[in-house]
Structure 1
Amino acid sequence: MPDSPSGERVPLRLTRRGRAVLVAFAAAVTLAALWLDGGTGAFAGGRADHHGRSGRVRTAVVEPGDTLWGIAAAADPGADPRVTVQRIIDLNGMGGDPTVQPGQRLVLPG
């Protein structure tokens, strides 16, 4: 803090423009952090869900006879397969067509 002529510390005061600049800077830093984190970090359904505990992307290649249910059950055996199926659909942008084809590479939830 700056000192006054009498040697006392003067509290820092921000003008309206200074506050606006500070808020804009904080928003820019937050957006940059979210973007670098993959878009969503702590938010469900974001690209950060692609990364497992090791930080690497987990994928599976669909083999003949594989189903999305079977892939989901194998990807996260302790979880409800319905939830895992939906996460795989969301992560891979399968939307209205959740069918899988042999040779297709799927991103799995971490």
Structure 2
Amino acid sequence: MSSVTFATNRPVLGRPALGRPALSRSTAARRGTRLRITVRGRRVLAALVTLPIAGAIAFAAVSGGSALASGEVSGTSTFATVTVQPGDTLWSIAGEIAPQADPRDVVAEISTLNVIDGGAISVGQHLAIPAKYSSTGR
């Protein structure tokens, strides 16, 4: 009588499976639970941790200046104001309050201080004048 044997591909403890080394019980148990973080994984993890912090700092920096941009004057600073008359432009107001200065610079400072986009002003509007020009002119 002859006997027939079947080859299996399952690893058996203590005996290697086709081309693989034998696994001991402790190695087999540890192999599935070990976590290794590569250098790339550490970088990704660091980025995930720092992005929300950096985003919060950037948001605070951007929104921190919005209180002044909305027209509110903070602290005890006082500004001289000029009321826009019919026919006035930012250029003519700049020439009156600071005749010795370059009008382009004065117009830019007035526009920035009063949050004026495109130079559009209206009659009766009160414009804050930068402190260095408030003692001269109108």
| TM-score category, normalised to shorter length | 0.3 to 0.5
Question: What TM-score comes out, normalization by structure 1 length?
Answer: 0.48
Question: What TM-score comes out, normalization by structure 2 length?
Answer: 0.38
Structure label with greater radius of gyration: 2
Higher RCO (CA 8 Å, separation ≥ 6 residues):
1
